[in-house]
Structure 1
Amino acid sequence: MLLNRPVTAFMLVLATFIFGYIALRDLSVDLLPDIETPSLMVQTQWSGASAREVETRINEPMEGVLSTIPGLKSVHSFSRQGQSIIALEFEWGRDMNLAFLNTREKLDQVRFMIPDQAERPQLIYTTPADEPVAVLSINPSGQQDPDFATRLELKRWAEQVLTRRLEQVDGIAQAVLVGAIVPEVHIRFKQDIIDRYGLSINAISNVIQQANVFSASGELRDGWYRYSLTIQSRIQSLEDIGRIPLLRTQGGERIITLNDVAEITFDEQEPTSFAQLDGNQTLTVLVKKDYGTNTVSVYEELLPILDEMREQFPGISIEVLQENATYISNSISNLLQTLAFGGILAFLILFLFLNDPRMPFTIGIAIPVSIFLTFFVMYLGGVQLNIISLSGLTLGIGLLVDNAIVVLENINRYRDAGHKIFEAARLGTKEIALAITASTFTTISVFLPLLFLGGFEGAFFRDQAFTLSISLLASLLVAIGILPVLVVTLNRGRKPSEDSNSIHIKEDKTRFTKGFDRILIIYEQVLEKSLAKP
């Protein structure tokens, strides 16, 4: 029993604080638990295609092939103008890494079955923890509604400078632009001129494609040297497009170019996403972190980078629209405040009843020991610090005080009966140990089934059940192992009170305890009469 080994007990307390602090510092902090949702999404872009064409030429062939993936539960497809979305739901508990590879293999098989004009299908896997660490707004300083040229320049700066700089930060996986314009060349043909020269739009389209060539053409050997050959005929500007020759007039007097039959302009592609701030268009950046990294730490590393970019580019306004790190930090702060308030309140209540600051002072030590022990076990169990686990820990704070109070009160009862402090601690703890153990496990049994609950609900609330159960077990261990040692240490040299087997009012008691004893005397009298006349 640790009561006979106080040095060992205090070393355990010290070790609990040290390892608990290290675990708290290294615990992964996030808003929601990392849940491996058994679902994937396949997204395919086909610019200019109608919803019916997307359904018949992309969705139907894909559904037939993807439905053969092992472990697949259901397939749902959605068609819209120029876009195909196929949602795949797998059986719960399926290894999503293997499912991802199987799906990618099927997509490679179906690639030749969809139109060549369609882009390569994108396979997307998301979890609740993929929520961006921060959402940034990028705008030219002093401009509320920038024109096309300014927005295009801003988009290029964000792609080439901002996102690359952000992705160099440890813990940031990706910086995604939302609302960025996509420039494209618009060619508006003059139908009367096309008809005059006997041209067709398909023929002109083929000429444009052939004029924009970049391909390898083998190699040239010269003795020991080898030279790679490439054919480059890339279009670099609107002028290059306009100078593309289409045909020669009769007699070869003149070459008809694209400028002669069409009007060529540089414009914005029809947006697939947009962002607005205060009613005006803006460019936003979604900053996503690496899997399992600390959200608060990543955000704290992000802020100096944003300040650095503001100093280097004063003409660009960078604002943080949304971030979860502050909410998480406030949640942890509220937990610590609840812990401190609970400890102070428990101390005051025990002081009012016991009229001795040394006895309730042990509660102030027992509570943080239980909490830090819980942090250490959470770290070993791979549990994150998030709003779900924090809710379990907050519930546990209110319950873990109970065991310590019961043991402390029973020790004090033996002490008032005339036993020395060591004997009172031994007898009081031994007498009540079985009862508080049964009570603690009864409470744990209510939440323990959540650990074995299947499906999304079980995965989501497992952290709460784990932290609550561990905090209660920690409080039990502290109450029957550490608390008696603290009581003996803090009360050495105190003389035992005179025997007080019956309820009476002592002269050295406070007004509170005197009033409470009077209530107990009345209760005792009522109870005796009730037992006499059942």
Structure 2
Amino acid sequence: MIHSLVSWAVNRPIAVFMLTLALGIFGLRAWQQLETALLPDLEYPEYFIVTRFPGGSPEEMEQLVSKPLEEVLASLPGIQDIISSSREGVSLIEVQFDWGIDFRFTLLRIREKIDAILTRLPDGVERPFIMDFNPNSIPIMELAIHSPEMSLVTLAELARQVFKPRFSQLDGIASAQLTGAPEPVVQIRIQPEKIRQYQLNPLEVAQNIRRNIPADPVNARVRVGYSEFPLNVDLRLNGLSDFLRMPIETERQALRLGDIAKIVSEPL
């Protein structure tokens, strides 16, 4: 077989040359049409489960949220590793599977496991959010901003109001995110002498504050004659003066928060 093939090639040099030339042309054409990408579109067998619990300490997030979720997820088939991290108010669990898994079936099993444990999680825990690993969402460039003259708060506000919007408007930019910038936080410092003077319970004061801080705008409808119109009222607090005027109602007397506390705004 090999001897006859060699004899045919030796006796027909022009045909062999034309065949080789045709293969070279088709190969070059295929190479020119070959698509390239910095990060190929691959499905990685990794999932992230993000769970939020507003007000939960890192220890509470680990014991009450991360560990129960890890226990139920560990029974899934094809798992290579489970990595979890817990910080204030947030639990992040990374689940790594073997290559070759059925992605749709695996995602369905993860949801089933999470649904089965929701009743065991503390009250106030938000429903866990499942994300798959996508390399295209990894930032391709990170920039650091520094100024020897501006304060960190001023620099963060400049980055938030100027740099981030301008970067987001550039062609080819999917999104621009700002990290590491200090967020302004309102600190309510209750004065102990005022608590004793007005005979207040600190827990009672804290409950009043929570009750008077609306989390979301209020949606309502206004009826005028036979017509009805939607009304959206934003009751969120807009400044320190709103905190100072916040009512503190007790069984004995009615006060304002400014009567018993000092309120300052500082970066966190």
Per the normalisation by structure 2, the TM-score is 0.72
User: What residue is the counterpart of 1:262 in the other structure?
Assistant: 261
User: What residue is the counterpart of 1:247 in the other structure?
Assistant: 249
User: What residue is the counterpart of 2:230 in the other structure?
Assistant: 228
The offset of 1:147, in angstroms, is 1.4
The offset of 1:244, in angstroms, is 0.6
- For the 8 Å contact 1:35–1:129, the answer to whether it is kept is no
CA distance in 1, matches of 2:82, 2:24: 55
Q: Is the partner of 2:248 in helix, strand or coil?
A: strand
The offset of 1:179, in angstroms, is 1.4
CA distance in 2, matches of 1:47, 1:55: 14
CA distance in 1, matches of 2:47, 2:244: 44
Question: What is the one-letter code of the residue matched to 2:47?
Answer: L
User: What residue is the counterpart of 2:211 in the other structure?
Assistant: 210
Question: What is the one-letter code of the residue matched to 2:182?
Answer: I
CA distance in 2, matches of 1:151, 1:111: 42
Question: What is the one-letter code of the residue matched to 1:261?
Answer: I
Q: Which moved more, 1:67-76 or 1:259-268?
A: 67-76
- For the 8 Å contact 2:208–2:249, the answer to whether it is kept is no
Compare the two structures and name the one with the higher strand fraction. Answer: 2
Compare the two structures and name the one with the higher helix fraction. Answer: 1
The offset of 1:235, in angstroms, is 0.8
For the structure 1 residues 122 and 150, does the alpha-carbon distance in structure 2 shift closer, same or farther, using more than 3 Å as the test? Answer: farther
Q: Is the partner of 2:150 in helix, strand or coil?
A: coil
Alignment of 1:472-483 (within 5 A): none
Bigger RCO of structures 1 and 2 (CA < 8 A, at least 6 apart): 1
- For the 8 Å contact 2:153–2:267, the answer to whether it is kept is no
Q: Which moved more, 1:195-204 or 1:112-121?
A: 112-121
User: What residue is the counterpart of 1:84 in the other structure?
Assistant: 91
Question: What is the one-letter code of the residue matched to 1:58?
Answer: V
The offset of 1:241, in angstroms, is 1.3
For the structure 1 residues 80 and 205, does the alpha-carbon distance in structure 2 shift closer, same or farther, using more than 3 Å as the test? Answer: same
- For the 8 Å contact 1:47–1:118, the answer to whether it is kept is yes
Q: Provide the alpha-carbon RMSD of the alignment.
A: 3.8
Q: Deviations over 1:292-321 (max 9, x none)?
A: xxxxxxxxxxxxxxxxxxxxxxxxxxxxxx
Structure 1 unaligned spans of 5+: 270-534
* Aligned with 1:66 (options 67, 73, 95): 73
CA distance in 2, matches of 1:163, 1:15: 43
The offset of 1:74, in angstroms, is 5.0
Question: What is the one-letter code of the residue matched to 2:169?
Answer: R
The offset of 1:266, in angstroms, is 1.4
Structure 2 unaligned spans of 5+: 1-11
2:14 is aligned with 1:3: yes
Question: What is the one-letter code of the residue matched to 2:209?
Answer: I
User: What residue is the counterpart of 1:237 in the other structure?
Assistant: 239
For the structure 1 residues 71 and 9, does the alpha-carbon distance in structure 2 shift closer, same or farther, using more than 3 Å as the test? Answer: closer
- For the 8 Å contact 2:218–2:234, the answer to whether it is kept is yes
CA distance in 2, matches of 1:37, 1:85: 18
Aligned length: 255
Q: Deviations over 1:184-236 (max 9, x none)?
A: 2111111221232233333333333333332324563743x431244542211
Question: What is the one-letter code of the residue matched to 2:67?
Answer: E
The offset of 1:268, in angstroms, is 2.2
The offset of 1:11, in angstroms, is 5.8
CA distance in 1, matches of 2:78, 2:222: 48
CA distance in 1, matches of 2:131, 2:203: 35
Q: Is the partner of 1:175 in helix, strand or coil?
A: coil
For the structure 1 residues 49 and 102, does the alpha-carbon distance in structure 2 shift closer, same or farther, using more than 3 Å as the test? Answer: same
Instruction: Indicate the percent of aligned positions where both proteins have the same amino acid.
Output: 27
Alignment of 1:135-534 (within 5 A): 135-139=142-146, 143-144=147-148, 146-157=150-161, 161-162=165-166, 164-166=168-170, 169-170=171-172, 172-213=173-214, 214-218=217-221, 220=223, 222-223=225-226, 225-247=227-249, 256-269=255-268
Question: What is the one-letter code of the residue matched to 2:186?
Answer: V
Q: Is the partner of 1:137 in helix, strand or coil?
A: coil
User: What residue is the counterpart of 1:304 in the other structure?
Assistant: none
For the structure 1 residues 122 and 12, does the alpha-carbon distance in structure 2 shift closer, same or farther, using more than 3 Å as the test? Answer: same
For the structure 1 residues 205 and 88, does the alpha-carbon distance in structure 2 shift closer, same or farther, using more than 3 Å as the test? Answer: same
CA distance in 1, matches of 2:117, 2:99: 26
Q: Deviations over 1:381-418 (max 9, x none)?
A: xxxxxxxxxxxxxxxxxxxxxxxxxxxxxxxxxxxxxx
For the structure 1 residues 101 and 161, does the alpha-carbon distance in structure 2 shift closer, same or farther, using more than 3 Å as the test? Answer: farther
Question: What is the one-letter code of the residue matched to 1:244?
Answer: M
- For the 8 Å contact 2:164–2:178, the answer to whether it is kept is no
The offset of 1:88, in angstroms, is 1.9
CA distance in 2, matches of 1:165, 1:101: 37
The offset of 1:180, in angstroms, is 2.4
